[in-house]
Amino acid sequence: MIEVRIRKRFAPGPESAGFLLDVEFQAGPGVSVLFGPSGSGKTLTLSSIAGFVKPDAGRIQLDGQILYDADSRVCLRPQLRSCGYVFQNYALFPHMSLRENLTFAAVRHARLERYRAVSEMLDRFELGPVSGRRPHEVSGGEQQRCSIARALIGNPRLLLLDEPARGLDLPLRAGLYRVLRQVRAEYQIPILLVTHDLDECFELGDRMLVVREGCLVQTGTPSAVRERPASIEVARLLGLTNLFRAEIVALDPGRDQSRLRFEGFELSAAYLPGHLIGDGVWVSIPAEELRVTSGVRPGPNQASARLVSTHQRSQSVRLEFEGELSVDLPRAEFEKQKHNKEWLIEFPAAALRVIEGVAANENTR
Amino acid sequence: MQSAGLMQSVDWFPLWLSLRVACISTFASLMIGLWLAYVLANRAFRGKELVDAAAALPLVLPPTVLGYYLLVAVGRESAFGRLYEWTFGQPLVFTWQAAVVASMLHAIPLLVKSARAAFESVDRTFEMAARNLGASEWRVFWRITLPLARRSVFAAGVLAFARSLGDFGTTIMIAGNIPGRTQTVAVAIYDAVESGNGALARSLVLAISALSVAILYLANRIERRKQAT
């Protein structure tokens, strides 16, 4: 169990704006993903936990042991923190073989145990045949496994990974995910993973911590965060499409209905508990839940729109309409409709999701 | 001229003395210089750049000025000089050990300059990773920083050795010119030219030149081989 509460202020310099890191969270065994855009303070948080950076205030506690506490002026050296750290570029020592890299890290093992412990680790991560080679003589996947093995050989109580998949191609990425799932199953320790890749959150994350501008803005399982983003900013970070501002013009709890007015048209949605008529809300509409037909006269919950562009994707086709409205169609469906002149977009009531959090800045769009 | 006879009569003592002085000086300078370079590269403290500047001072000051400073600092009247005399039973000045001190004064700045740059060019993540893996600062230095910077450090060491081999000004001021005791090659050549002994001067000049070329050539080769692996 890792408990973190830290603050660190960076004064604005001549070329950089000031930055305030202020995060508080706890994480138990399993993978917790720190997700956020570049420069939001994710890596800084990891560095503070590992002891490379000293925060200004707060406290970091790992399994009940205090690693850092501003009030009692405790700040353990990185050597004493037993946090495994996997660096972005792996940081394997280039002048040592893979086995030597692991042996270097096995100082906590008794001298006689060391060779056996290293061999076991090499086998577990399928590095036996290449253990005598230097890092630059082995493949990217082997380097990656070696860096994880090296971080784990000292039996850390916490594993920190800083964007481990950055710059990897798809097969390597899949290999990494497989290794990390194996690590999660074999070691009952908290794993903190920093990423700005959304797919990685869903692939690995038991929990997701959304970081933005040095603050933690939402925590939860990845799917819960995606279903119910706490604010319009989180929705944007998650890459949700079709974020629109709307006004509630009617609420009918009896028929479980409400009506929302957008710029130029009105749509029916499910009843919105806890809202009043006249409220302004943000609505997100998943692009894959929209339907399109050919026609000019909009029926109920339909709107006509002008097609701006189409984009081929691996699994679907994205249609972009005027007013920043996107629709994802399965390929087969697109083939049937691609000769449409006029387009009608149908909004199923269930597709309209109101973002419940209060937007930090209402008029950003 | 009876050149064979002259070769017989050449006193090679200055060459051996110079080699001995250079070896000891390089070794001692490596100890002090690498430590100072590591501190300058890794620690943040007040007056750090002042220390760096002071360490480089011997490179620009006239050798006579350095010699004068040394006479004041380690002479028989100084605190250090008295301590040395009390410990070893003889004064430091005008002994071959004084020549070692004089050479170190030039070798250390060279080492500090290049080694600091070398240590700073080592990717910090390797050191961070080593600390994260539980390595003490001592272990980080010997197993990570120094091996990764070894080429530049080795080159700096060779340079320091070559520089120690040929020191003249400071050496003559503090170690003097006592034939058979403190007369190094550079001093002996000066002495030979002054006293019109051209044959001796030529022999020593040729020997020291050949030796220097050989050292630099060897150093280059070793460095090349290290790069290959």
Show Cβ contacts of residue A43 under 8 Å, excluding neighbours closer than 6 positions.
Answer: A162, A163, A194
Q: To the nearest whole angstrom, how far is the Cα of A205 from the nearest Cα of chain B? A: 24
Measure CB to CB from residue B128 to each of A52, A81, A150 and give the nearest one: A52
Q: Are B133 and A118 in contact (CB under 8 A)?
A: no
Q: What is residue A235's predicted lDDT score, i.e. its pLDDT? A: 87
Nearest residue of A to residue B136, measured between CA atoms: A79
- Looking at residue B145, what DSSP letter applies? I
Inter-chain touch A95–B148, beta carbons under 8 Å:
yes
pLDDT tier at A361 (50, 70, 90 boundaries)?
Answer: very low
Chain A residues whose C-beta sits inside 8 Å of any chain B C-beta = 50-52, 77-79, 81-85, 87, 89, 91, 93-95, 104-105, 107-108, 150-151, 154
- The predicted structure's pLDDT at residue A137: 92
Instruction: Enumerate the residues of chain A whose CB falls inside 8 A of the CB of residue B143.
Output: 104
The reported pLDDT for the residue numbered A363 is: 40
Put simply, the answer to whether A108 touches B126 (Cβ < 8 Å) is no
Most confident of A81-85, A227-231, A276-280: A81-85
Mean pLDDT to the nearest integer, A100-109: 89
pLDDT, tens digit, 9 for 90 and up, residues B140-186: 999 999 999 988 888 889 988 988 888 888 999 888 888 888 888 99
CB-CB under 8 Å, A94 with B148 = yes
Chain B contact probe: residue of A44, A49, A95 with most B CBs at under 10 A: A95
Is B213 an 8 Å CB contact of chain A?
Answer: no
Domains (range + CATH), chain B: 9-228 (1.10.3720.10)
Plot region of B7 (φ>0 → left; ψ -120 to 50 → alpha; else → beta):
alpha
Written as six digits, the tokens of B101 are 């001190």
Residue A77 Cα, gap to closest chain B Cα (Å): 8
Taking contacts as CB-CB distances below 8 angstroms, the residues of chain A near B133 are 104-105, 107, 150-151, 154
Percent over 90 (pLDDT), chain A = 39
What would the mean pLDDT of A206-224 be, rounded to a whole number?
Answer: 90
List chain B residues with CB under 8 Å of A89: 125
Distance CA A354, CA A229 (A): 9
B143/A contact by beta carbon, under 8 A: yes
User: Using 50, 70 and 90 to split pLDDT, how confident is the model at A98?
Assistant: very high
Distance CA B197, CA A286 (A): 98
CB contact under 8 A, A85 and B132: yes
Q: What is the DSSP string of A63-82?
A: TTEEEEETTTTEE--GGGS-
Separation CA B72–CA B80 (nearest Å): 10
User: Which percentage of chain A shows pLDDT scores above 70?
Assistant: 98
Q: A11-20, A30-39, A115-124: lowest mean pLDDT where?
A: A11-20
- pLDDT (tens digit per residue) in B184-203: 899 999 999 999 888 889 99
pLDDT at A99 over 90: yes
pLDDT of residue A118: 93
Q: CA A322, A326, A330 angle in degrees (round to 5)?
A: 130
Q: What pLDDT sits at residue B1?
A: 43
A105·B147 Cβ contact <8 A: no
Indicate the burial class of A205 (C-beta count within 10 angstroms; 0-12, 13-18, 19 or more).
buried
Tokens coding A251: 């609420």
Is residue A3 predicted with pLDDT exceeding 50? yes
Query: Which of B128, B131, B133 has its CB closest to that of A150?
Result: B133
Q: Which residues of A touch B135 (CB under 8 A)?
A: 79, 104, 107
Q: How many CB pairs under 8 A join A and B?
A: 54
The whole-number average pLDDT for the span A128-153 is: 92
The ipTM (two decimal places) reads 0.80
Whether the full predicted model's pTM is greater than 0.90, yes or no, is no
Q: Which of residues 103-142 of B touch A (CB under 8 A)?
A: 123, 125-126, 128-136
Q: How confident is the model at residue A193 (pLDDT cuts 50, 70, 90)?
A: very high
CB contact under 8 A, A107 and B133: yes
Say if residues B130 and B139 touch (Cβ distance below 8 Å).
yes
The whole-chain average pLDDT of chain A stands at 87
Give the pLDDT band of residue A358 (cuts 50, 70, 90): low
| Beta partners for residue B136, in sequence order | none
State how far the Cα of B91 lies from the Cα of B88, in Å rounded to an integer.
8
What is the secondary structure of A83-141 as a DSSP string?
A: EEEE-TT----TTS-HHHHHHHHGGGS-HHHHHHHHHHHHHHTT-GGGTTS-GGGS-HH
Minimal C-alpha gap between A93 and chain B (Å): 7
Contacts of B147 in chain A (CB under 8 A): 95
Query: Looking at the complex, does the CB of residue B147 fall below 8 Å from at least one CB of chain A?
Result: yes
Question: Please, is A336 exposed, middle or buried when counting C-beta atoms within 10 Å of its C-beta (0-12, 13-18, 19+)?
Answer: exposed
pLDDT of res. B226:
61
**What per-residue confidence (pLDDT) applies to B227?**
57
SS (H, E, C) A159-197: EEEECCCCCCCHHHHHHHHHHHHHHHHHCCCEEEEEECC
Q: In A, which residues are within 8 Å of B126 by CB distance?
A: 91, 93-94
- Among B128, B129, B135, select the one facing A107 at the smallest CB separation: B135
Max Cα distance, chain B (Å):
72
A149 with A159: CB under 8 angstroms? no
What SS3 class is residue B135?
A: coil
Query: Is the Cβ pair B132, A83 closer than 8 Å?
Result: yes
Nearest to A78 among B125, B131, B143 (CB): B131
Q: How far apart are CA A73 and CA A78, in angstroms?
A: 15
Which domains does chain A possess?
2-237 (3.40.50.300), 243-355 (no CATH)
Provide DSSP, B191-213.
HHHHTT-HHHHHHHHHHHHHHHH
Closest partner residue to A91 (CB to CB) among B129, B136, B147 is B129
Confidence band of A108 (pLDDT split at 50, 70, 90): confident
Categorise residue A267: left if φ over 0, alpha if ψ from -120 to 50, beta otherwise. beta
Residue B46 tokens, joined: 């007040």
Interchain CB distance below 8 Å, B133 and A87: no
Asked if residue A168 lies in contact with residue A140, where contact means CB atoms within 8 angstroms, the answer is yes
pLDDT tens for chain B, 229 residues long, are: 444 444 556 788 889 999 999 999 999 999 999 999 999 988 888 888 888 888 888 988 998 999 999 889 888 888 888 898 888 888 888 888 889 999 999 899 989 988 999 999 999 999 999 999 999 999 999 999 999 998 888 888 998 898 888 888 899 988 888 888 888 899 999 999 999 888 889 999 999 999 999 988 888 887 776 655 4
Q: What's the rounded mean pLDDT across residues A228-233?
A: 85
Q: Which of B129, B136, B143 sits opposite A87 (nearest CB)?
A: B129
